[in-house]
Structure 1
Amino acid sequence: MRIETIYRYPVKGLTAEALEDVALIPGQTLPEDRRFALAQGDAPFDPAAPAWLTKRHFGCLMVNARLALVHSAFDARSGDLLLRIPGAAPLHASTRTADGRTAIAAALTAYLGDEARGTPRFVEAPGHSFSDVPGKLVSIIGLSSLRALEQAAGMTLDPLRFRANVYVSGGRPWAEFGWIGQEIQLGQTKLRVVKRIVRCPATEVNPASGLRDAKPPRWLREHFGHMDLGVYAEVIEGGRIAVGDALEALAPAD
């Protein structure tokens, strides 16, 4: 199996950013992945004492399908974020200043309209990840599994519906489920696969149109008896991964 694409998602719910290669660090997510989020006004998130919260506390595609149409680009060196929001002028603001974060929050809040609760805040906390699971993990999808779902559903599905970090080709459908509890070699790195990814209504949203035009969780359940696509893995040995690198499931230790 080989890596076809690598993505990070600097702002939870917003644009995927493609990478040709990236360095992974043990016990961490991809650098800059889910670093920022728009916390709803009633979310009990405290940047000074960050704790994991479910996605409903933040702007997310499961609840806010229209976020799919917001195009974002993050510059990790400068800390600047560019937002292109439908119906608004492009916004270029710093994530490192209070004024910049306020401007970003205001723009996204205005776009969400009635879907915004209270006064949302654009937040981050050093070392914290706004991922869908409490642990700092890397998500991997086998494209053979996605093709099996497409065939069963009779519909082509953009892989970005599933917002994974790494998409790999080759192998048989659902092979990744056999890696649970096992180590894999991915490029220069080694990861331990820890769990399957249960799919939620966020995958109903077409990333190109912002419309809910598919039912992947229902189709997975009806055709395969589960609602899972992809796996989460923990980085246990760091190094670089790149498009074209091999993925190999390692034999369990005796």
Structure 2
Amino acid sequence: MRIEHIYRYPVKGLTAEALEEVMLAEGQCLPHDRRFALAQGDAPFDPAAPAWLQKRHFGCLMANARLALLHSAFDPKTGQLAIRPPEGPPLLGDTRSESGRAEIAAFLTRHLGEEARGTPRFVEAPGHHFTDVAVKCVSIIGLASLAALEKAVGQKLDLLRFRANVYVSGGTPWAEFDWLGQEIQLGAARLRVFKRIVRCPATEVNPDTAERDAKPPQWLRQHFGHADLGVYAEVIEGGRIAVGDALEPLEGDLLH
């Protein structure tokens, strides 16, 4: 199996950013992946003492489909976040200053409209990632599994609906489920697969139109008896991964 795509999502719920290569570090997510989030006004998130919270506390596609209409780009070197709405002027905000974060929060709050609760905050915390699971990890989807779902429903599905970090080609449908509890070699990194990804209503949202025009969780249950697509894996030995690199399951005496 080979890596076809690598993505990070600097702001939870906003645009995917494609990467040709990235360095994975032991026990970490992709650098800058889900680094920022819009915390709803009633969210108990404390940047000074960050703790994992469920996605409902933040702006997310599961609840806020209209976020898909925003096009964003983050520059880690400068800390600048550009956000372009479907209409009106774009925003260039400074994530490193209090005033810049307030400006970004106000922009996103206006876009959410009635879906904003209280006074949302644009938040980050050093070393914290706003992921859907509490463990820092990398999400991986086998494109053969996605193709099996597409064939079952007779509809093409944009892979960005599923917001994974790594998409791999080759292998058989659902092969990634066989890796549970197992180590894999991904490029120069080694990971341990620990959980199947249960798909949520975020995948119903068309990333181009923001319309809820598909039902992947329902279709997965209907055709395959589960609502899962992809797996989570912890990085246990860091290293570079790049588009074109191999993914190989490791077994027995190959582990060490």
With the shorter chain as reference, the TM-score category is over 0.9
Q: Does 1:251 align with 2:247?
A: no
Corresponding residue of 1:182: 182
CA distance in 2, matches of 1:112, 1:152: 34
Greater displacement, 142-151 / 80-89: 80-89
Greater displacement, 7-16 / 85-94: 85-94
Corresponding residue of 1:195: 195
Corresponding residue of 1:143: 143
- Secondary structure of the equivalent of 2:176? helix
Corresponding residue of 2:211: 211
Corresponding residue of 2:235: 235
Task: Trace 1:30-49 onto structure 2 (pairs within 5 A).
Answer: 30-49=30-49
Tell me if the contact between 1:184 and 1:249 (Cα under 8 Å) persists in the aligned partners.
Answer: yes
CA distance in 2, matches of 1:140, 1:164: 6
CA distance in 1, matches of 2:195, 2:5: 21
CA distance in 2, matches of 1:81, 1:129: 17
Shift of 1:86: 2.2
Shift of 1:87: 2.1
Task: Trace 1:103-182 onto structure 2 (pairs within 5 A).
Answer: 103-182=103-182
Number of residue-to-residue matches in the alignment: 254
Q: Give the AA of the match of 1:131.
A: T
Shift of 1:93: 1.1
CA distance in 2, matches of 1:180, 1:209: 35
Q: Give the AA of the match of 2:166.
A: V
Shift of 1:252: 3.1
User: Deviation digits for residues 155-190 of structure 1, max 9, x if unmatched?
Assistant: 000000000000000000000000000000000000
Q: Give the AA of the match of 2:36.
A: F
Task: Trace 1:52-131 onto structure 2 (pairs within 5 A).
Answer: 52-131=52-131
Q: Give the AA of the match of 2:228.
A: D
CA distance in 1, matches of 2:40, 2:117: 6
User: Deviation digits for residues 181-216 of structure 1, max 9, x if unmatched?
Assistant: 000000000000001000000000000110000000
CA distance in 2, matches of 1:75, 1:252: 42
Corresponding residue of 1:51: 51
CA distance in 2, matches of 1:231, 1:183: 12
Alignment gaps of 5+ in structure 2: none
CA distance in 2, matches of 1:88, 1:133: 35
Shift of 1:85: 1.4
- Secondary structure of the equivalent of 2:208? coil
4+ aligned runs moved over 3 Å, structure 1: none
Tell me if the contact between 1:197 and 1:231 (Cα under 8 Å) persists in the aligned partners.
Answer: yes
CA distance in 2, matches of 1:209, 1:35: 25
CA distance in 2, matches of 1:85, 1:59: 16
Tell me if the contact between 1:182 and 1:252 (Cα under 8 Å) persists in the aligned partners.
Answer: no
- Fraction of identical pairs, as percent: 75
Tell me if the contact between 1:183 and 1:252 (Cα under 8 Å) persists in the aligned partners.
Answer: no
